[in-house]
Structure 1
Amino acid sequence: MAARTAFATALAGLGEDAPLPVTARLFAQAGVPVFPCAPGGKNPLTEHGFHDATTSPGQVESWWRRFPAANIGMPTGAASGVVVVDVDVHGVNGYDAFRQARRAGLVNGWEALVRSPTGGLHVYYPASLASEQPSWQAGRVGIDFRGDRGYIIVPPSRRIIDGETSLYRLASLSPTPGRALDASALRTFLDPPRPPRRLPERGSSAGRTDPLKLAKWLGGEHTDRNHKLFWASCVLAEEGVPYRDALDAMLTVSQPDFGQREIARTVASGYKRIHVDTPRPREAGTARAGPVHDLDAIPEGHVPSRGLR
């Protein structure tokens, strides 16, 4: 009979008020590799980021002795044995797409549900033993997949948003062991591939788009900016505008409620939809708090965790 992953087993025995150094050590002792991230944030504090993650209690104690308020990062994929569907609420309400995928039977088999400080949802599954599951983004629908070569911030880590501290909270544990997710099928469902489009001939201006003009237009918009930015990014990618040119232009649209991090992620998602080798977006600033959603995306039969608020 299948057993829960080491991560879900360790998570089941933790209290949400457990000190971060104690929790990090308990994860390591359970065989879950961890590494320290910035207090109240997500950026790794080690030189090689999630590649430095370890199950060595001595190394983990040393890290958290130096950074006692550090958040706990965990590599996803084969390294930890778990993958995560990240339901976002920045600009696009990812719960809508998650519900559709649930109705299609594509997101069953989860082990744990974690509420993020901004109102999103992290859905944990056992990693596939059959093949690698690389991380991907479907920014148009507000869903990211954290698999191989990715990482996630785990409970009881915290974020500081608008001056207030908010925790990553365990919302539910499945009463039975989970099963591997078909991440490829989920990606195809959420972000269907588009037929290739022939780019303009080199040296021809016909059909090419000026990213600065699109950025100026976007700067005058005040509704559905994330959707419009995604559309603009796809257009620029299709017309052969270099990714960095598009990103630099769109970052000029940055406003207090439309930050550089969100812009960078959306531009990268648009380019990834057209060109799979687009660079990962650089971190830029801290995301604003999104609306708090009820966990109505939780499938029936879940077991609520103690102390859920």
Structure 2
Amino acid sequence: MAARTAFTTVLAGFGEDAPLPIAARLFAQAGMPVFPCAPGGKNPLTEHGFHDATTSLAQVESWWRRFPAANIGMPTGVASGVVVVDVDVHGVNGYDAFRQARRAGLVNGWEALVRSPTGGLHVYYPSGNGEQPSWQAGRAGIDLRGDRGYIIVPPSRRIIGGATAWYRLASLSPTPGRALDAAALRTFLDPPRPPRRLQERGSSSGRTDPLKLAKWLGGERTDRNHKLFWASCVLAEEGVPYRDALDAMLTVSQPDFGQREIARTVASGYKRIHGDASHPRNADTARPGPVHDLDAIPEGRVPSRGLR
């Protein structure tokens, strides 16, 4: 009979008020490598980031003696035995795409749902056999945290608007999970397609052609976010559909300029011009409902006992 992942087993044993040093030790003791991240943040405190993650109790205890308020980072994929579907709510509301993927039967088999401090959702699955590389589907507002990636785990916390907000366990599946077909999910969320060429609208300069603006942006190496925001505002002012602008701008993504960052910036430009979320579909003004509203996702349970 299949068993729960070690991550879910440990997570079920403590509450959000668990001391971070004790929680980090419990994860490491169960065989999941961890590393410290900035208190109230997500940036690694170690020199090589998630590559420094370890199950050595001596090292873990040393780190959290030095940084007792450090958040807990955990590599995803084969290293920890879990992959995570990260549903975002900034720029593009990923809950819509997640509901669609659920209806298509592509996201069943999760073991744990964790609400992020900003209102997003982390959906945990067993990693299965073999590697599942991390990826981003910026159009959908969903990322996969797999091999060569990491996640911040409960009971870590963030400082949002001056207040403390937790990574909160929302639900545990009543049964052990099963591996996610991450490749099928990515194809569903972000099917490969050539960017659509739009007829230029009254300008020979390419000012309102998103592909020409994207080509220009792709040649830039400095201040790209500012330039992307400017380009997005121009396209919004000229009435270019948001989806066409986003499709074009996502073609310039790079390892240091990822799809999520691009999607957020394009949405911000359209929101600046139009003043609401009607053009960037379901942008970050649209707040997600509670986890159990995710269109018939079965409700599990949340442990009531806490680790003191």
TM > 0.5: yes
Contact kept in structure 1, 2:138 and 2:259, CA below 8 Å: no
Aligned length: 307
Contact kept in structure 2, 1:261 and 1:284, CA below 8 Å: no
After TM superposition, give the deviation of residue 195 of structure 1 in Å.
3.7
**Equivalent-residue separation in structure 2 for 1:236 and 1:175 (angstroms):** 48
Distance 1:231 1:135, change over 3 A: farther
Contact kept in structure 1, 2:116 and 2:167, CA below 8 Å: yes
Distance 1:244 1:183, change over 3 A: closer
**Equivalent-residue separation in structure 1 for 2:122 and 2:292 (angstroms):** 13
Contact kept in structure 1, 2:74 and 2:153, CA below 8 Å: yes
Identity of aligned residues (%): 90
After TM superposition, give the deviation of residue 116 of structure 1 in Å.
0.3
Once the two structures are superposed, the pairs formed by residues 1-309 of structure 1 within 5 Å of their partners are 1-128=1-128, 131-195=130-194, 262-263=261-262, 298-300=297-299
Contact kept in structure 1, 2:136 and 2:260, CA below 8 Å: no
Contact kept in structure 2, 1:170 and 1:305, CA below 8 Å: no
Distance 1:245 1:176, change over 3 A: closer
List alignment gaps of at least 5 residues for structure 1.
Answer: none
After TM superposition, give the deviation of residue 16 of structure 1 in Å.
1.3
Deviations 1:99-149 (A, max 9, x none): 000000000000111000001100000002xx3111011111111110000
After TM superposition, give the deviation of residue 230 of structure 1 in Å.
10
SS of match in other structure, 1:255: coil
Deviations 1:183-238 (A, max 9, x none): 00000001110148999999999979899996999999999999997996899999
**Equivalent-residue separation in structure 1 for 2:188 and 2:273 (angstroms):** 16
Distance 1:113 1:247, change over 3 A: closer
**Equivalent-residue separation in structure 2 for 1:66 and 1:277 (angstroms):** 45
Distance 1:140 1:56, change over 3 A: same
**Equivalent-residue separation in structure 2 for 1:216 and 1:118 (angstroms):** 33
Distance 1:201 1:111, change over 3 A: same
Contact kept in structure 2, 1:139 and 1:269, CA below 8 Å: no
After the TM superposition, which of the residue ranges 223-232 and 132-141 deviates more from structure 2? 223-232
Contact kept in structure 2, 1:86 and 1:145, CA below 8 Å: yes
Contact kept in structure 2, 1:200 and 1:207, CA below 8 Å: no
After TM superposition, give the deviation of residue 175 of structure 1 in Å.
1.4
After TM superposition, give the deviation of residue 303 of structure 1 in Å.
5.9
**Equivalent-residue separation in structure 1 for 2:94 and 2:275 (angstroms):** 22
Contact kept in structure 1, 2:210 and 2:235, CA below 8 Å: yes
Deviations 1:28-55 (A, max 9, x none): 1111110000000000000000000001
Distance 1:262 1:60, change over 3 A: same
Contact kept in structure 2, 1:119 and 1:290, CA below 8 Å: no
Normalization by structure 2: what TM-score?
0.71
After the TM superposition, which of the residue ranges 207-216 and 107-116 deviates more from structure 2? 207-216
Which has the bigger relative contact order, CA under 8 A and spacing at least 6? 2
Contact kept in structure 2, 1:85 and 1:145, CA below 8 Å: yes
After TM superposition, give the deviation of residue 14 of structure 1 in Å.
1.3
Distance 1:216 1:189, change over 3 A: closer
SS of match in other structure, 1:216: helix
**Equivalent-residue separation in structure 2 for 1:149 and 1:166 (angstroms):** 27
Distance 1:56 1:290, change over 3 A: farther
After TM superposition, give the deviation of residue 299 of structure 1 in Å.
2.9
Contact kept in structure 1, 2:83 and 2:124, CA below 8 Å: yes
Contact kept in structure 1, 2:73 and 2:153, CA below 8 Å: yes
**Equivalent-residue separation in structure 2 for 1:55 and 1:279 (angstroms):** 47
SS of match in other structure, 1:189: helix
Normalization by structure 1: what TM-score?
0.71
**Equivalent-residue separation in structure 2 for 1:277 and 1:49 (angstroms):** 38
Q: Please give the root-mean-square deviation of Cα atoms over the aligned residues, in Å.
A: 9.5
Contact kept in structure 2, 1:89 and 1:120, CA below 8 Å: yes
**Equivalent-residue separation in structure 2 for 1:304 and 1:198 (angstroms):** 52
Distance 1:295 1:99, change over 3 A: closer
After TM superposition, give the deviation of residue 91 of structure 1 in Å.
1.8
**Equivalent-residue separation in structure 2 for 1:224 and 1:296 (angstroms):** 40
Distance 1:2 1:152, change over 3 A: same
